[in-house]
Structure 1
Amino acid sequence: MKRVAFYTLGCKLNYSETSSISRMFEEKGYQKVEFNQKPDIFIINTCSVTDNADKKCRKIVREAQAINPDGYVAIIGCYAQLKPREISEIPGVDAVLGAAEKFRLVELLDTFQKSPQNEPALVLASPIEDAYDYHTSYSLNDRTRTFLKVQDGCDYPCSYCTIPLARGKSRSDSIANVVAAAHEIAARGVKEIVLTGVNIGDFGIQQGIRSSTFLDLIRELDQVEGIERFRISSIEPNLLTDEIISFVANSRRFVPHFHIPLQSGSNTMLGLMKRRYKRELYQNRVEKIKQLMPDCCIGVDVIVGHPGETEAEFLDSFHFLNELPVSYLHVFTYSERADTHALSLRPVVPKKVRAERSGILHSLSEKKKRAFYETQTDSSHVVLFENDVEDGHMQGFTENYVRVMARYDPLLINELKAVRLTQISANGLFEVIDEEIFEQYV
């Protein structure tokens, strides 16, 4: 029995796909082991959002070779689709599979016989136009939360992004398949599903034809028994409609938490980035959410240092974000990606300036998070506790994505518990007290 290990770089979507591919191996009789347990086969699922992700791939290959010099190393994922020949020249790599091939990994590589030394790696990477099939995927890393892929690919040609080149055109699962997967996940005892994809608001396209919408999907998922919570991982502001917001506000299972990419609070920059909205629409979406769900957590993606971002444009973006009632920021420092429109834009922001602007927005994010947490003090929420124990304490998330800590109790793992948020600890987590106990004190 050959032993196989997996390493995943990048987004929740990659984690869901790695998990599904690992189950394919197990169904064929392979034994899944940890990366450091000297497996016979290493599968590395790559990301290529930033230049740093490419460097990480090379480092993981070196680590694999150090663990087992005779181990077979196969590379899949976005980096593998974008630069298969470059990866094939990395010492120790035996095979590179593109987007159209990665779900046929077991079939295409078969024996996983390591190549003789100095022989070039096998490259199986079709043009991205051939990546039109859809593969249902979900992660099963623990019993608490699962990432369920509902959509893949993207038709948005944003100036900085290689995702359309790495994953192909937008395509989706059927509602029936997604609901069936949710039932399978519920049967495994999982309490929360995070819906993920490249552009999930574009859900509903199958074989180039739109047959349904994201709103249709979440209405059906809201009826799935056994799943206590559904969380929307990220949705474009121009696709986040009033109907979706209203549905979540009145939903049985969808939680008050949105992650909405902004990328810049400057309309000039949004134009250069080829985004499909202006900041006024984004502000309208945030205000609508807060009107219907005052305690809703709202996360924001933002890019700093994109070509064309002058000091004035950065400050315009900063002030816009500072005034928005959002809860945290995911800050990305722009890095040059081959074959993107952004490479032709000027002025180019020096890397030192990019780093300085990133630091400013990270500080703003901490301020936003602290302010949001403080609004939740002394309020009641339901926490899903995880098997994440440190120094005698366990952690979990409220429905509106506040991270809490409580004294470890094995009975609480994977359980939903009503709590009172009492105070923010030194490490930035909320300390809680059992709501039933709290009621005895008042």
Structure 2
Amino acid sequence: MPPPSSALPEVISLGCRLNIAESETIRTLLGRRDAVVVNSCAVTNEAVAGTRRAIRRARRERPGAELIVTGCAAQIDPQGFAAMPEVDRVVGNADKLLPEAWAASEPVRVSDWDAVRRDAPHLAPAFAAHVRAFVEVQNGCDHRCTFCAIPFGRGPARSAPAGAVVTRVAEVVAAGHREVVLTGVDLTSYGQDLPGRPSLGKLVERILTHVPALERLRLSSLDSIEIDDRLMALLTGEPRVLPHVHLSLQAGNDLILKRMKRRHLRADAVAMVARLKAARPEIAIGADLIAGFPTEDDAMFADTLALLDDCDIVHAHIFPFSPRAGTPAARMPQVNPAVARERAARLRARAAERHTAWLHRLVGTRQRVLVERPGDRGHAEAFAEVGLDRTMQAGTIADVAIIAVEQDRLVGVAA
């Protein structure tokens, strides 16, 4: 793939789907500026290190472009990134979707979250780089999990008004997107700051009612304890809501969950998945899990390892614990980092086994696949990756017969 033209902006998006969504707005705000923006992640120390590597690589590849760093890592440590010789400007998360922030010239523009109480920003209607449209409906978080630095980077929880969300979804569908992903930092807390406290389930109902042309609606990470009956009914009974639920579980041991300041217990997570699978067996369960949290012993880790089976997890995001400065968990008795890495490797190995076994169970089925660039691959409704036997137009939905599993993805023949 050739390097981007020096006359056009480039946005490098790291981390979560929310960053992907916001990067599209940033791209629009930049116009035709000769700039590279690194939209950073701070979920772990490794994510911050990855941001620094991306900055250095971007400077080597675009030596003459203006290089701007934004995102969570920039919000949390603006001076640290401003001190990098490769960096021209730092723009904080509170400012990065404001046109005036990109028109300004000050080296560091980072607002204090305590002064920021805006509604969650809305996205640009075009998503040139993605076949899916990511629509941000919520930002920030009011919970304080002991390991998490993201509230420092994203600020207080705030939701976009439902009417504006429906309008945005209608726009991206009219622009040709057949799948929409609702994103947020704490998505299931949607609406708690709005008049009448509308729930995420109510928002989804409103989208489906008022945008009948929307074919596929996917939800990003959910907090299992906040899935109410309305949202449960939509996840299990609405065909346009895709059968793919990613849960923020983090651990499988009750004492560790309490020390994380999570709001659910192990049994709550297992029961939630059992309800989902009983009502809609084809639902694929994903989860975030942390290995080596402070005070975790072998028995506690075994509970988390067993959670992969007990919650039928087939899409797992595994992280070794990373102490983030300023968080309570960083002051707790630490597990040896080598032990945390070894435990994370064991979790990943078991998760990979489960994922592969799940793919093999899909051989012989027919799947509806959203074709992705360059046209020889895509993802099915339950987010299984599918390689196609022929190149098709990106953004279309293909009916595909699954014939094999190769290199940890399905192989299909398009009808």
Work out whether the TM-score is over 0.5. Answer: yes
Number of aligned residues: 407
Q: Counterpart in 1 of 2:281?
A: 294
Q: Distance in 1 between matches of 2:86 and 2:302?
A: 46
**1:226 CA displacement:** 2.8
Q: Assess if the C-alpha contact under 8 Å between 1:195 and 1:233 holds in 2.
A: yes
Is 1:172 aligned to residue 153 of structure 2? Answer: no
Q: Map 1:83-122; keep pairs closer than 5 Å.
A: 83-104=77-98, 106-108=99-101, 110=103, 112=105, 122=107
Q: Distance in 2 between matches of 1:396 and 1:70?
A: 35
Q: Counterpart in 2 of 1:48?
A: 42
- Residues 364-418 of structure 1 show CA distances to partners (whole Å, capped at 9, x for unaligned) of 11111122223323223322222235xxxx21222122222221133x5422233
Q: Assess if the C-alpha contact under 8 Å between 1:100 and 1:132 holds in 2.
A: no
Q: Distance in 1 between matches of 2:368 and 2:278?
A: 21
Q: 1:72 to 1:210 in 2, by over 3 A?
A: farther
SS in 1 for 2:411: strand
Normalized against structure 2, the TM-score is what?
A: 0.92
Q: Assess if the C-alpha contact under 8 Å between 1:143 and 1:189 holds in 2.
A: no
SS in 2 for 1:169: coil
Is 1:12 aligned to residue 14 of structure 2? Answer: no
Q: Map 1:39-188; keep pairs closer than 5 Å.
A: 40-104=34-98, 106-108=99-101, 110=103, 112=105, 122-133=107-118, 134-137=120-123, 140-142=127-129, 144-188=131-175
**1:111 CA displacement:** 6.5
Matched to 1:130, the amino acid is A
Is 1:430 aligned to residue 415 of structure 2? Answer: no
Q: Map 1:207-356; keep pairs closer than 5 Å.
A: 211-223=197-209, 224-346=211-333, 348-356=334-342
Q: Assess if the C-alpha contact under 8 Å between 1:333 and 1:358 holds in 2.
A: yes
**1:178 CA displacement:** 0.8
Q: 1:59 to 1:398 in 2, by over 3 A?
A: closer
**Percent identity between the two aligned chains:** 28
SS in 2 for 1:388: coil
SS in 2 for 1:258: strand
Q: Assess if the C-alpha contact under 8 Å between 2:313 and 2:354 holds in 1.
A: yes
Matched to 1:289, the amino acid is L
Q: 1:18 to 1:314 in 2, by over 3 A?
A: same
Matched to 2:38, the amino acid is I
- Residues 119-149 of structure 1 show CA distances to partners (whole Å, capped at 9, x for unaligned) of xx72222222123212112671446212111
Q: Distance in 2 between matches of 1:150 and 1:244?
A: 15
Q: Assess if the C-alpha contact under 8 Å between 2:25 and 2:123 holds in 1.
A: yes
SS in 2 for 1:418: strand
Is 1:21 aligned to residue 19 of structure 2? Answer: no
Q: Assess if the C-alpha contact under 8 Å between 1:303 and 1:332 holds in 2.
A: yes
Q: Assess if the C-alpha contact under 8 Å between 1:151 and 1:173 holds in 2.
A: yes
Q: Which residue of the other structure, out of 344, 364, 371, is the alignment partner of 2:357?
A: 371
Q: Distance in 2 between matches of 1:271 and 1:388?
A: 45
Matched to 2:395, the amino acid is N
Q: Assess if the C-alpha contact under 8 Å between 2:368 and 2:399 holds in 1.
A: yes
Q: Distance in 1 between matches of 2:227 and 2:401?
A: 31
Matched to 1:8, the amino acid is S
Q: Assess if the C-alpha contact under 8 Å between 1:100 and 1:130 holds in 2.
A: no
* Higher Cα Rg, which structure: 1
**1:41 CA displacement:** 2.1
SS in 2 for 1:60: helix
Matched to 1:407, the amino acid is D
Q: Distance in 1 between matches of 2:409 and 2:51?
A: 32
Q: 1:108 to 1:362 in 2, by over 3 A?
A: closer
Q: Distance in 1 between matches of 2:251 and 2:305?
A: 9
Unaligned runs of 5+ in 1: 32-39, 113-120, 436-442
Q: Distance in 1 between matches of 2:102 and 2:318?
A: 38
Q: 1:230 to 1:68 in 2, by over 3 A?
A: closer
- Residues 56-78 of structure 1 show CA distances to partners (whole Å, capped at 9, x for unaligned) of 22223323333444432221111
CA RMSD after TM alignment: 2.1
Matched to 1:222, the amino acid is L
Q: Distance in 1 between matches of 2:414 and 2:117?
A: 49
Normalized against structure 1, the TM-score is what?
A: 0.87
Q: 1:302 to 1:143 in 2, by over 3 A?
A: closer
Is 1:406 aligned to residue 392 of structure 2? Answer: no
Q: Distance in 1 between matches of 2:11 and 2:18?
A: 15
Q: 1:380 to 1:129 in 2, by over 3 A?
A: same
Q: Which residue of the other structure, out of 354, 358, 375, is the alignment partner of 2:344?
A: 358
Is 1:395 aligned to residue 377 of structure 2? Answer: yes
Q: Assess if the C-alpha contact under 8 Å between 1:81 and 1:128 holds in 2.
A: no
Q: Counterpart in 2 of 1:385?
A: 371
**1:109 CA displacement:** 5.1
- Residues 135-183 of structure 1 show CA distances to partners (whole Å, capped at 9, x for unaligned) of 1126714462121111000011001001111111111101111111111
Unaligned runs of 5+ in 2: 1-5
SS in 1 for 2:52: helix
SS in 2 for 1:327: strand
- Residues 231-259 of structure 1 show CA distances to partners (whole Å, capped at 9, x for unaligned) of 11110010112331222222141111100
- Residues 248-297 of structure 1 show CA distances to partners (whole Å, capped at 9, x for unaligned) of 22214111110011100100110110000101110111000110111111
Q: Assess if the C-alpha contact under 8 Å between 2:313 and 2:351 holds in 1.
A: no
Q: Distance in 1 between matches of 2:363 and 2:64?
A: 55
Q: 1:78 to 1:127 in 2, by over 3 A?
A: same
Q: Distance in 2 between matches of 1:434 and 1:97?
A: 45
